[in-house]
Chains A and B, each alone.
Chain A
């Protein structure tokens, strides 16, 4: 796992050996299946009524693919899509977020739909909102096509 990936995981509250180990295994799985090293990670999460982060999914971005695992804590159920797929529309829903710098109460939900009708909904809270925005700019916006 790269140092900046570990730093990102720490920033979303993933710090224990147990969870870092789990994600390391998933990075290895991704590399084994698609044959490329994951460059970026996105943890999709929300905060529950007690303010505790609940992790929903993990997206691993390689040079050519998006390797997504829903419910990654419990399952090995993943899907692979090419990263250069045509994106038809990107929608943003923000709360307490100015798209410049997130605060602890910021929330961001981004929906990216492809021309074939597939929708990828991504959620982030706190500082993860800034990270999600970077992911959108790098892996979704360049592929927006009419």
Chain B
């Protein structure tokens, strides 16, 4: 990260300092504060029981684990690491700018789409798609001022399965000179299953360390049963398979009824 900070200074005349982090904390705190006041968020929270009961009527089972999702702010170090991955590690045009442009202080709050995020945990695998559908419907409502809605059904080699949805709104954030500006910022809403959430919590520390590593390993993890990745990653895949089987059995039971 020291080299990345030097690169930012040398190539883009930007110094990462305590002031940068303080400003980040101020902006992201404001985004979170304003997001919970949006019509979109309030409508979503008030609709959760309705979504649950629609799913209940459809499948005979409850949709959600909890009706009180927490909203999290990405830590500054993780945020900076993400800009590093975007600008350098995953930049196919390196040393030229990435195809969608550099993530720099003048635009990185708009470019990084998971600075503020929340998580919904559903009981069953098909609940993920169901809930994504509800979010899409909600984002389409004109009175809720969503500028855009995107969804990515993540199915990663590392055994990570979740839907990542992004709703963007215009937020007014403070500028460095204490004036304000309005920019489009995406809020990430993750949806995952109960079992995947258990795995995430168990392996969270491991995933975080792995994201910090940027040196490729010599042996592929799939051929290295002694590696940490082997157990963790396959556990994620196995659980996803098991969750698929659970839905299949549940559907067969419904048909028998």
Q: Which of B7-15, B48-56, B174-182, B219-227 contacts A (4 or more CB under 8 A)?
A: B48-56
Interface size class of A (residues with CB under 8 A): 10 to 19
User: What's the Cα separation between A18 and B54 when bound, in Å?
Assistant: 5
Q: Is the interface of A mostly helix, strand, loop or mixed?
A: loop
Cβ of B53: which chain A residues have Cβ within 8 Å of it? 16, 18-19
User: What's the Cα separation between A16 and B46 when bound, in Å?
Assistant: 11
Cβ of A119: which chain B residues have Cβ within 8 Å of it? none
Whether A134 is near chain B, meaning CB under 8 Å from some CB there, is no
Residues of chain A in range 49-84 having any CB-CB distance to chain B below 8 Å: 52, 71, 73-75, 77
User: What's the Cα separation between A73 and B53 when bound, in Å?
Assistant: 9
A75/B257 in contact, CB under 8 A: yes
Of all chain A residues, which has the CB nearest B48? Answer: A16
Which listed residue, A19, A74, A77, touches B60 by the CB 8 Å rule? A74
A22/B49 in contact, CB under 8 A: no
Count of B residues near A, CB < 8 Å?
11
C-beta contact mask, B3-21 vs A, less than 8 Å → 1, else 0?
0000000000000000000
Whether B238 is near chain A, meaning CB under 8 Å from some CB there, is no
B57/A73 in contact, CB under 8 A: yes
A16/B257 in contact, CB under 8 A: no
Whether A15 is near chain B, meaning CB under 8 Å from some CB there, is yes
Which listed residue, A15, A71, A73, A75, touches B49 by the CB 8 Å rule? A15
Whether B254 is near chain A, meaning CB under 8 Å from some CB there, is yes
User: What's the Cα separation between A73 and B69 when bound, in Å?
Assistant: 26
User: What's the Cα separation between A73 and B254 when bound, in Å?
Assistant: 12
Of all chain A residues, which has the CB nearest B60? Answer: A74
A73/B60 in contact, CB under 8 A: yes
Task: In the A-B complex, list the 4 residue pairs whose CB atoms are closest, starting with the nearest.
Answer: A18-B53, A74-B60, A16-B53, A16-B50
Interface positions of B (Cβ within 8 A of A)? 49-50, 52-54, 56-57, 60, 62, 254, 257
| Given A73-B60, A74-B60, 18 more pairs with CB closer than 8 A | A15-B49, A16-B52, A16-B53, A16-B54, A17-B50, A18-B50, A18-B53, A18-B56, A19-B53, A19-B56, A19-B57, A22-B57, A73-B56, A73-B57, A74-B57, A74-B257, A75-B257, A77-B257
Interface positions of A (Cβ within 8 A of B)? 15-19, 22, 52, 71, 73-75, 77
